[in-house]
């Protein structure tokens, strides 16, 4: 969050001073990426609930990796001004097609967007979906080899490779004894308390969860088995105000100056050259 400090060197009329302080207070609560544009062509990025990329738990919708990336893009140049537009996982492609947003970000080819009119940009970022179980004496990585017969905790609406990317809640519940929630924290706590056997979360989210809950390091273990790799793409709608080439060039500048590594490496999200 951007914090502003003002030092008043000369006396100001009371009303003017109050207005200045009010403006500072308001600006102090504007998160990176959510501000109104000051210059440049506006580019609207859909911000769906996908922690830790957007809406990190307990820190609000103005935190996470997406606002940091947006701020870095805006700091880098003045030709475009990137703003975040709230959307949802089920609605994000419709918002893109209807022009409510110009870009869907952190998307993967298996998630069903091939038929959506778009231009894809390889972001050169890779994450992974992993399995998490409760630590118990004698339990090792072999525990993750077989899912049938185990109680799963998964996120409602997400597509998982183990289920052939079928996000139908009834199918997941019937075939995998799955409990579907809208909270990754709840899923991990269900495993920790013995109410579920395995939860699926991104590697980045699991690292964030352990950082926020250090005591859980002794109670939970992540899998070496990967459910799916997330090789992230940005999807630009046709006639978006920024071209795929221009956006790819901005990402390359952030890669070259170390900003992508600074933002994503703490969550073990790999930065690499686009394919």
Helix, strand or coil, per DSSP, at residue 264: helix
DSSP for 133-195 reads EE--TT--GGGGS--TTS-EEEETT---GGGTT---HHHHHHHH-EEEES-HHHHHHHHHTTS
CA 225, chain centre distance (Å): 22
- Cα separation, 219 vs 216, whole angstroms: 5
Partnered with residue 220 across adjacent β-strands are 134
According to DSSP, the residues that pair with 120 across neighbouring strands are 235
Peptide bond just before 52 cis, omega within 30 deg: yes
CA gap 118, 5 in Å, rounded: 42
pLDDT at position 230, please?
A: 86
- Rounded distance, CA 104 to CA 48, Å? 9
DSSP-based three-state secondary structure for 134: strand
Q: Are 111 and 50 in contact (CB under 8 A)?
A: no
Question: What pLDDT does 64 receive?
Answer: 83
DSSP state letter for 257:
T
Q: Residue 105 is encoded by which pair of tokens?
A: 């970000």
234 forms beta bridges with 121
Angle at 260 between CA 254 and CA 262, to 5 degrees: 120
CA-nearest of 64, 25, 73 to 242 is 73
pLDDT in tens, the chain (275 residues): 333 333 333 333 333 333 333 333 333 334 444 455 457 999 999 998 888 888 644 444 456 899 999 999 999 999 999 999 999 888 999 999 999 999 999 988 666 677 788 999 999 999 999 999 999 999 999 999 999 999 999 999 888 999 998 889 999 999 999 999 999 999 999 999 999 999 999 999 999 999 999 999 999 999 999 999 988 999 999 999 999 999 999 999 999 999 999 999 988 899 988 87
Residues 85 and 102 sit within 8 Å (Cβ to Cβ): no
* Chain centroid, CA 159 distance in Å: 15
- Backbone torsions φ then ψ of 107, nearest 5 degrees: -105, 155
CA distance 199 to 179: 9
Q: What's the pLDDT at 139?
A: 96
């Amino acid at each position: 969050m951007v914090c502003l400090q003002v030092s008043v060197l000369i006396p100001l009329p009371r009303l003017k001073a109050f207005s200045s302080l009010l403006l500072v207070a308001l600006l102090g609560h504007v998160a990176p990426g959510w501000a109104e544009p000051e210059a440049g062509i506006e580019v609207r990025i859909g911000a769906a609930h996908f922690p830790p990329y957007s809406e990190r738990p307990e820190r609000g919708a103005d935190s996470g990796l997406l606002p940091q990336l947006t701020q870095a893009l805006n700091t880098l140049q003045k030709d475009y001004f990137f703003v975040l537009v709230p959307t949802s996982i089920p609605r994000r492609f419709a918002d893109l097609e209807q022009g409510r947003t110009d870009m869907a970000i952190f998307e993967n080819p298996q998630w069903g967007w091939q038929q959506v009119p778009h231009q894809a940009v390889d972001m050169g970022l890779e994450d992974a979906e992993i399995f998490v179980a409760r630590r118990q004496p004698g339990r090792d990585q072999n525990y993750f080899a077989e899912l049938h017969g185990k109680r799963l905790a998964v996120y409602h609406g997400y597509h998982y490779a183990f289920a052939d990317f079928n996000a139908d809640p009834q199918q997941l519940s019937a075939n995998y004894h799955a409990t579907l929630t809208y909270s990754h924290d709840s899923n991990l706590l269900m495993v920790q308390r013995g109410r579920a056997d395995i939860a699926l979360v991104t590697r980045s989210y699991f690292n964030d969860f352990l950082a926020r809950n250090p005591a859980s390091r002794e109670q939970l273990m992540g899998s070496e088995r990967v459910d799916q790799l997330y090789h992230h793409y940005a999807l630009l709608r046709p006639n978006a105000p920024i071209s795929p080439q221009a956006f790819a060039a901005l990402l390359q500048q952030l890669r070259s100056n170390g900003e992508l590594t600074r933002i994503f490496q703490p969550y073990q999200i790999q930065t690499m050259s686009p394919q």
